[in-house]
């Protein structure tokens, strides 16, 4: 497997399954934190999404990113035909794609 694929796979794995930070590496604070009541601890929720929803969120973001790249590639492949039919200069053809991508992705 390519090194870039292995790096991304490791980054995604660390995002989905974060390792707890050992207390010895936490910085010491000069002012001790105020004690919290049991009711305050019960009302607090953990940060982030639970695991099944976290994986779905990552998949949705990655899928959306892939579709944006694919859409841009399709528009750039069709650019010569679009420019010829609109009788646009090459410099104007760039603006056609820019306007399309702004209209679709906003």
Q: What's the pTM?
A: 0.50
Q: Domain extents for the chain?
A: 66-106
Q: Cβ contacts of residue 96 below 8 Å, gap of 6+?
A: 79, 82, 83, 86, 88
Cα–Cα separations (whole angstroms), residue 93 to 55, 74, 88: 39, 14, 6
Cα–Cα separations (whole angstroms), residue 15 to 1, 20, 22, 33, 91: 21, 12, 17, 28, 42
Q: What's the rounded Cα separation, in Å, for the pair 94 and 84?
A: 13
pLDDT 10s digit of each residue in the chain, 106 long?
566 666 667 677 777 666 665 555 555 555 656 666 655 555 555 677 788 888 899 999 999 999 988 998 999 999 999 899 999 998 898 898 888 888 887 6
Q: What's the rounded Cα separation, in Å, for the pair 104 and 106?
A: 6
- pLDDT of res. 35: 65
SS3 28: coil
């Amino acid at each position: 497997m390519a090194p870039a694929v292995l790096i991304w796979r490791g980054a995604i794995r660390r995002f989905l399954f974060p390792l707890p930070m050992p207390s010895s590496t936490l910085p010491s604070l000069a002012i001790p934190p105020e004690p919290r009541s049991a009711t305050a601890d019960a009302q607090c929720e953990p940060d982030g999404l639970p695991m099944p929803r976290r994986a779905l969120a990552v998949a949705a973001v990655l899928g959306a990113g892939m579709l944006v790249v694919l859409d841009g590639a399709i528009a750039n492949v069709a650019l010569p035909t679009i420019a010829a039919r609109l009788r646009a200069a090459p410099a104007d053809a760039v603006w056609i794609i820019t306007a399309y991508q702004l209209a679709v992705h906003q």
